[in-house]
Chains A and B, each alone.
Chain A
Amino acid sequence: MDAVLENLPYLLGGFLTNLQLAAFALAGGIFLGTLVGLGRISKRPWVYYPVTLYVNFLRNIPLILVIFWFFFVMPILIGKTLDPFVSAAVSFVVFEATYFGEIFRAGFQSISKDLVSAAYSTGLTYRQTAAYILVPIAVRRMLPSLITQSIITFQDTSLAYVIGLQEMVRRTTIVDGLEVRSVQLYTFVAILFFVICFVGSRISLHYEEKSRKAKVL
């Protein structure tokens, strides 16, 4: 355990970078994802087709390629080298938004047209129907998927080590290079990721159960 304890502040500093990157990725990804979701149910072809192309393209290439691509291609396009954190954050937002967008699309599409008609037929306006019926039902149905995708995003932040970002996995390889304590070091990293993600998946399960009891799923 010495190798872990002696380098704990350094390793946890890397973990903080994972958390920060995940925070940016989720905030940006969910925001952009909402717009993507709306674009995917849009009846306007000039919105629907470009958004659909973007979603289908990115969902069919590995994240690690998107990270590389932004890191190596952006400097050519904008003429200067990006900071690895900024580059990774942009890649994550652009990539995760396609996944969140599909979750939002499914959430809205799962609500039947007649349920909306029923709300309208009692005199509720579009805004009231969205506020009291559409959004509450969609969010309840989406919550487990949103949390699951958030956990995946968090795990994926470690991929940013490929462009030299000083996150925890990158720092662990550095410490391991000096101390040669691979088993302890990587076990520690694995446990840390496990604890965070396990707690997250339990929360997701809790909401799923709650929705199931209320039978909105």
Chain B
Amino acid sequence: MIEIKNVSKWFGEFQVLADVNEVVQRGQKVVICGPSGSGKSTLLRCINGLEPYQKGEIVVDGVSLSDPKTNLYKLREKLGMVFQRFELYPHMTVLRNITLAPMKVRKKSRPEAEKKAMELLERVGIPDKAGAYPANLSGGQQQRVAIARALAMEPACMMFDEPTSALDPEMIQEVLEVMIGLAKEGMTMLVVTHEMGFAREVADEIIFMDAGRIVERGRGDDFFKNPKSQRTKDFLGQILK
């Protein structure tokens, strides 16, 4: 589904990604963790074509992002993305937030798009908020709308960029439950998070990044119990305290 081959990226002199290699199979759930500034979010943005990279290659569903002929807009339809700060369109209702892309990109009719949007709102548990504006929702509700908005384009893979780190503690669970539900339905997922409980429960693979490199990768419990590098041990020590 997603192949990342020797990808490096620089912001001026500063190297944010250094020879990153990773393969995400269809249906696989990969959790990326690491200290801030380690390049996790940048990696997601590169996969989605939101940022360029200078070396290596990323292939999504058989289409290379390095190929200048690749239509990035078409490619992004396959990848849903959820951001740390929700990024809902503030001037549109919840329903409009979800139906915009299906109507404008997929050319769906309004009734068709709204029917699908209502199904998605049911799924994330807030069908009663369809007519509300984002500012009148709690953080947890906003993030669930953001997930519904991404799902409305029926992506083959969902990417989450620290989806719970801007939330109050009591709202984290409601968002994680939606994500766990998605995982159980077989969605391919790439999740940047520090929610280690979530990682333990759903991740097929956990990646630890530091200074733009993948330092360590492992599976579930093994990753937490027997971290190989000192850097991973220190990080897990801090985060699991």
Query: Which residues on A are within 8 Å of B, measured CB to CB?
Result: 112, 114-115, 117-125, 128, 132-133, 136-137, 140, 214-216
Residues of B within 8 A of A120 (CB): 48, 50, 73, 76
User: Which chain B residue has the least Cβ–Cβ distance from A122?
Assistant: B101
A-B contact sample (11 more), CB < 8 A, given A117-B83, A215-B136: A115-B87, A117-B45, A117-B87, A121-B79, A122-B100, A123-B76, A123-B77, A128-B104, A133-B89, A137-B90, A215-B90
Residues of B within 8 A of A121 (CB): 48, 50, 76, 79-81, 150
Query: Which residues on B are within 8 Å of A, measured CB to CB?
Result: 45, 48, 50, 73-74, 76-77, 79-81, 83-85, 87-91, 100-101, 104-106, 133-136, 146, 149-150, 152-153
- Given known contacts A114-B87, A214-B90, A216-B91, is B101 in contact with A123 (CB within 8 Å)? yes
Q: How far is the CB of A132 from chain B (nearest CB, A)?
A: 6
| CB pair B76 A136 closer than 8 Å | no
| CB pair B150 A122 closer than 8 Å | yes
Q: Tell me, in angstroms, the Cα distance from A142 to B101 when the chains sit together.
A: 25
Q: Tell me, in angstroms, the Cα distance from A136 to B100 when the chains sit together.
A: 14
Q: Tell me, in angstroms, the Cα distance from A124 to B102 when the chains sit together.
A: 9
Residues of A within 8 A of B48 (CB): 117, 120-121
Most buried by A among B89, B90, B105: B90
Residues of B within 8 A of A122 (CB): 76-77, 80, 100-101, 105, 149-150, 152-153
Q: How far is the CB of B48 from chain A (nearest CB, A)?
A: 6
| CB pair A140 B91 closer than 8 Å | yes
Pick the contact of A137: B50, B74, B91, B100 (CB < 8 A).
Answer: B91
Q: How far is the CB of A136 from chain B (nearest CB, A)?
A: 6
Q: How far is the CB of A211 from chain B (nearest CB, A)?
A: 9
| CB pair B87 A112 closer than 8 Å | yes
User: Which chain A residue has the least Cβ–Cβ distance from B93?
Assistant: A214
Residues of A within 8 A of B88 (CB): 118
Pick the contact of B83: A118, A136, A215, A216 (CB < 8 A).
Answer: A118
Residues of A within 8 A of B45 (CB): 117
Q: Tell me, in angstroms, the Cα distance from A214 to B96 when the chains sit together.
A: 14
Q: Tell me, in angstroms, the Cα distance from A123 to B108 when the chains sit together.
A: 14
Q: Tell me, in angstroms, the Cα distance from A136 to B150 when the chains sit together.
A: 21
Pick the contact of A215: B87, B135, B149 (CB < 8 A).
Answer: B135
User: Which chain B residue has the least Cβ–Cβ distance from A211?
Assistant: B91
Selected A-B contacts with CB under 8 Å, 22 pairs: A114-B85, A115-B89, A117-B48, A117-B50, A117-B81, A117-B87, A118-B146, A120-B48, A120-B50, A121-B48, A121-B79, A122-B76, A122-B105, A123-B77, A123-B101, A124-B100, A137-B89, A137-B90, A137-B91, A214-B91, A215-B133, A215-B134
Q: Tell me, in angstroms, the Cα distance from A112 to B87 when the chains sit together.
A: 8
| CB pair A136 B91 closer than 8 Å | yes
7 A-B pairs with least C-beta separation: A215-B135, A122-B101, A118-B87, A121-B81, A123-B77, A123-B105, A216-B90
| CB pair A214 B85 closer than 8 Å | no
Pick the contact of A132: B76, B79, B100 (CB < 8 A).
Answer: B100
User: Which chain B residue has the least Cβ–Cβ distance from A121?
Assistant: B81
| CB pair A123 B73 closer than 8 Å | yes
Q: Tell me, in angstroms, the Cα distance from A112 to B84 when the chains sit together.
A: 13
Residues of A within 8 A of B153 (CB): 122-123
Q: Tell me, in angstroms, the Cα distance from A215 to B135 when the chains sit together.
A: 6
| CB pair A124 B79 closer than 8 Å | no
User: Which chain B residue has the least Cβ–Cβ distance from A132?
Assistant: B100
Q: How far is the CB of B132 from chain A (nearest CB, A)?
A: 11
Most buried by A among B80, B84, B89, B146: B89
